[in-house]
Amino acid sequence: MNNINKIGHNPCSSCGVCVISCPHKAVLLKQDENGFYRPIVNNDICTDCGICTKVCYKYLKEKNPFENAFKDKSIYAAWSKDITTVKTSSSGGVGYELTSYFYHAGYKICGVIFDAPNNICKHIIAESDENLEAIKTSKYLQSYTVEAFSQFKKGEKYLVVGTPCQIYGLRKWSKLKKLEDDFILVDFFCHGTPTHNLWKKYKEFLCEKYNLNSSFKYVNFRSNQKSTWHKNAMLISDCYEKEYYKDKAFVSDLFFQFFMSHSCLNDACYSCQLRLDNCAADIRIADFWGSKYANNENGVSLVITNTKRGELIWREIEHLLTVENCNFKDLETSQNGRFIEKNQQQRNVILKELREDKSLIQIYNQHIKNKLSVSVLLLLRKIEIKILSHINSNR
């Protein structure tokens, strides 16, 4: 067997690039019973040509754990000079400035919208300023890529924003197709993506508890308009404009409680090789969390120019932004560590219960509530150790 069913070093990341790479259209991407996109190979059509394995994250070998892709790269803090852009973006609006600038320079922009009628996140090729607005902000679910990625055509120029694994697949694919120069690739520091079954149950919960209609019209996981950057809110409105609004969503909203507890992320997210050790993008963006901008309540993006091309692109757009030079230490204090803690047993139970009849609040009360307090204790312990080692090193 020489297709993506071959066992690899890593689990499937659900990026969907194998589907577009198959010359025989033998691969489909479908959600499995646990709510993760997985490729399905039609063995009657597959010729075992192996092209899908050449673009696949599964075969990326583990790197030296002490190596770091960003150590020698240029690192910036940045936010748009246009305050409306900052307030309507996730952090500092660098994502929007990149997409908007290159859209008006003739590039096709490929980014993620929340497709409310189908209740999924998906990549689209933006065709208007309205599409660019819809692409703004992070949607904390794995996007469906296949529809948009299948539209890539030779002779066009593209800027694509995606998770590190989606961008890794596209880098490999564009190299294979000799189209690398036509693609500007942007990714972000990625916490991981949870199962779609969580989203489905969360929706049921909102409809029941807050009396929302199940037909959602608008979903914003990072609403800063009525809130502030650090107190980020979840804002959802249904087809009758009835709103659900939760301030400090990272700690108070049920979807985020599951997301932040790492209890039901995609398998590949826990040991992601693309978090700190590998990056296939020209530019990486992120929230500049941590102490450096703790008092900034509008929003600050962290930017890393990962390739020479990324640096040139950055120079083209930096006049649209307020930019401060930073260093690797700033990056380290802003971002989570290398891997995400995985409690396999608990994850299995939660994934099972998300498939079954139990309500989200029941699952939360049984498995997440107490776990969060354990995580908080562990975090406090880590902070204590850091402070103690800092004091010791200064003695």
Using the rule CB under 6 A, is 143 a contact of ligand FAD? Answer: yes
137 binds ligand FAD (CB under 6 A): yes
The answer to whether 139 contacts ligand FAD (rule: CB under 6 A) is yes
Q: Kindly tell me which residue out of 238, 253, 277, 287 binds ligand FAD, with binding defined by CB under 6 A.
A: 287
Q: Region of 106 please: left (phi>0), alpha (psi -120 to 50) or beta.
A: left
Q: By C-beta, is 137 or 223 nearer to ligand FAD?
A: 137
- Contact present, 332 and 276 (Cβ < 8 Å): no
Q: With beta carbons less than 8 A apart as the criterion, state whether 338 and 65 touch.
A: yes
Task: Give whichever of 39 and 92 is closer to ligand FAD, judged by the CB atom.
Answer: 92
Q: Strand pairing partners for 235?
A: 220, 245
Q: Is 138 in the site for ligand FAD (CB under 6 A)?
A: yes
**Distance of closest approach, residue 204 Cβ to ligand FAD, in angstroms:** 21
Task: Give 103 or 189: the residue with its C-beta nearer to ligand FAD.
Answer: 189
Kindly state whether residue 135 participates in binding ligand FAD, applying the rule CB under 6 A: yes
Which of residues 4, 17, 56, 121 is near ligand FAD by CB under 6 A? 121
To 5 degrees, how large is the angle CA 119–CA 173–CA 280?
A: 85
183: left (phi over 0), alpha (psi -120 to 50) or beta: beta
Shortest Cβ 338–ligand FAD spacing (Å): 12
What three-state secondary structure class fits 380? Answer: helix
Separation of first and last alpha carbons in the chain: 60
Q: Which is nearer to ligand FAD, 201 or 262 (CB)?
A: 262
Interface with ligand FAD includes 220 (CB under 6 A)? no
Q: Which residue is nearest to ligand FAD (CB)?
A: 95
Closest CA to 108 of 91, 123, 90: 123
CB hemisphere CA count around 98 (13 angstroms) = 34
Q: Minimum distance between the CB of residue 167 and ligand FAD, rounded to whole angstroms?
A: 9
Residues 258 and 242: their CA atoms lie apart, in Å, by 24
- Structure token pair of residue 221: 């996981």
Q: In whole angstroms, what is the distance from residue 28 CA to residue 39 CA?
A: 5
How many residues of this chain bind ligand FAD (CB under 6 A)? 34
CB of 94 to ligand FAD, least distance (A): 4
Best CA proximity match to 174, nearest among 336, 66, 54: 54
Residue 364, classed as helix, strand or coil, is helix
Q: Which of 198, 212, 286, 326 binds ligand FAD (CB under 6 A)?
A: 286
Q: Which of 301, 317, 331, 367 binds ligand FAD (CB under 6 A)?
A: 301
Taking CB under 6 A as the criterion, the residue among 99, 227, 278, 306 binding ligand FAD is 99
- Contact residue for ligand FAD among 55, 161, 234, 331 (CB under 6 A): 161
- Rounded to whole angstroms, how far apart are CA atoms 105 and 108? 9
Whole-angstrom distance, CA of residue 262 vs CA of residue 342: 7
* Residue 191 binding ligand FAD, by CB under 6 A: yes
Minimum distance of ligand FAD from residue 231's CB (angstroms): 15
Q: Could you tell me the smallest distance in angstroms from the CB atom of residue 78 to ligand FAD?
A: 8
Neighbours of 279 (CB within 10 A): 24
* Site residues for ligand FAD per CB under 6 A: 89-96, 99, 111-112, 121, 135-141, 143, 161-163, 188-191, 193, 285-287, 289, 301, 336
